[in-house]
């Protein structure tokens, strides 16, 4: 296990988590879930796509739902660059890593670059989007969990150390990390660009798969209100985990499963971390405080389920602690 030195002046400037593109089987059911329960605003919709944003977001979209009759998947996770010049520099950098790059036209986004990380996770970078009204003071429009802004992704990956090395070489900084007891290997990492504990999180597991995406809410009362809203909509069963308080990040949280099983977290936002002298916080994987400060432990579905990335084959975790060999993994999947 090693923690790379932080890169304070990366070749290009990724600024934050931006948007996620998911496929869903029933657009109306998903729109109902994300507007009434999570509290997002519909910016635009047509017969096969719904664009949504949080209450404080002035960007056109942070969640894009696309109708698809196959297995519900994550098509892309999006990150913002500071300028178009950063996009050009990123294209060259990703090419130099031997990774695919392609300029694409995406509605309501400026120049947009498609690529993948080293494990194949599909990435979408842009620097600008169509600007729309920020509704943070339009309290009359607040519903359910009152989602304010997209904050981070969590990904299950077979290779946490590899993800750590790859993203930190682009200027991501580690705020906290989880070490698998006894083997001294990375089991989880929290990486950030925007100055709070995470933009992207990697946990060890069968992957790569998108475990969840997370929106900030107002306070713990609003998290409870979201749960009550789920109940009043006859969807109480989709409250999967929480409310509770995380160890890493220290936020209060609740996780929901949308009509296709995609997982969305609402949480009270966490602390600021920017200063260069701050060292990453270490957690031991089996520490009770790491799992939750308070609240029930995660149910099995929270540990095991995640959304596949389109067209991406899964790999078993390489963490020695898992005891999972390729042979065992393939045999288990064949059952």
| Site residues for Fe ion per CB under 5 A | 154, 214, 265
Q: Give min distance, CB of 217 to Fe ion, in A.
A: 12
**What residues does 216 pair with on adjacent strands?**
267
Cα 275 from Cα 5, distance rounded (Å): 15
Report the candidate in 223, 198, 258, 216 with the shortest Cα–Cα distance to residue 62.
Answer: 216
Cα 254 from Cα 241, distance rounded (Å): 6
Buried b (16+ CB within 10 A) or exposed e, 10-22: bebbbbbbbbbbb
State the burial class of residue 304 (Cβ atoms within 10 Å of its Cβ: 0-12, 13-18, 19+).
Answer: exposed
Q: Give min distance, CB of 265 to Fe ion, in A.
A: 5
Element (H, E) at 160: helix 160-168
Q: Give min distance, CB of 151 to Fe ion, in A.
A: 8
The DSSP output letter for 302 is H
Give the nearer residue to Fe ion in terms of CB position, either 94 or 267. 267
Give the nearer residue to Fe ion in terms of CB position, either 214 or 226. 214
SS3 content of the chain, % helix, strand, coil (to 5): 20, 35, 45
Give the nearer residue to Fe ion in terms of CB position, either 60 or 285. 285
Cα 265 from Cα 131, distance rounded (Å): 25
Contact 76, 121 (CB under 8 A): no
CA dist list (Å): 138 to 35, 42, 51, 148, 233: 15, 14, 19, 12, 23
Q: Give min distance, CB of 130 to Fe ion, in A.
A: 27
CB-closest chain residue to Fe ion = 214
Q: Give min distance, CB of 330 to Fe ion, in A.
A: 30
Give the nearer residue to Fe ion in terms of CB position, either 113 or 214. 214
Token code pair at residue 305: 């389920």
Element (H, E) at 214: strand 209-216
Give the nearer residue to Fe ion in terms of CB position, either 68 or 302. 302
Q: Give min distance, CB of 154 to Fe ion, in A.
A: 5
Give the nearer residue to Fe ion in terms of CB position, either 125 or 213. 213
Q: Give min distance, CB of 249 to Fe ion, in A.
A: 8
Contact 128, 18 (CB under 8 A): no
Give the nearer residue to Fe ion in terms of CB position, either 63 or 127. 63
Give the nearer residue to Fe ion in terms of CB position, either 12 or 255. 255
């Amino acid at each position: 296990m090693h923690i790379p030195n932080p890169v304070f002046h990366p070749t290009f400037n990724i600024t934050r988590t931006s948007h996620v593109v998911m496929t869903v089987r029933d657009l109306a059911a998903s729109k109902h879930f994300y507007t009434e329960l999570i509290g997002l605003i519909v910016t635009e919709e047509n017969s096969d796509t719904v664009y949504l944003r949080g209450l404080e977001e002035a960007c056109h979209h942070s969640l894009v739902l696309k109708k698809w009759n196959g297995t519900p998947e994550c098509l892309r996770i999006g990150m913002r660059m500071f300028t178009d010049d950063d996009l050009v520099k990123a294209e060259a950098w990703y090419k130099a890593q031997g990774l695919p790059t392609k300029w694409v036209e995406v509605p309501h986004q400026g120049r947009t670059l498609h690529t993948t990380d080293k494990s194949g996770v599909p990435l979408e970078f842009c620097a600008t989007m169509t600007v729309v009204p920020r509704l943070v003071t339009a309290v009359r429009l607040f519903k359910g969990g009152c989602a304010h802004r997209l904050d981070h992704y969590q990904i299950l990956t077979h290779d946490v150390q590899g993800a750590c090395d790859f993203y930190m070489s682009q200027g991501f900084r580690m705020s906290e990390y989880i070490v698998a007891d006894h083997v001294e290997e990375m089991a989880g990492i929290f990486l950030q660009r925007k100055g709070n504990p995470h933009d992207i999180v990697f946990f060890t597991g069968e992957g790569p798969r998108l475990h969840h995406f997370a929106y900030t809410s107002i306070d713990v009362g609003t998290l409870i209100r979201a749960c009550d809203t789920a109940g009043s909509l006859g969807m109480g069963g989709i409250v999967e985990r929480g409310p509770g308080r995380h160890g890493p990040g220290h936020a209060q949280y609740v996780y929901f499963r949308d009509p296709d099983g995609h997982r969305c977290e609402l949480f009270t936002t966490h602390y600021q971390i920017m200063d260069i002298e701050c060292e990453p916080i270490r957690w031991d994987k089996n520490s009770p405080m790491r799992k939750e400060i308070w609240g029930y432990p995660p149910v099995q579905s929270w540990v095991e389920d995640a959304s596949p990335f389109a067209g991406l084959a899964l790999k078993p975790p390489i963490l020695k602690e898992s005891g999972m060999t390729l042979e065992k993994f393939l045999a288990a999947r064949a059952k």
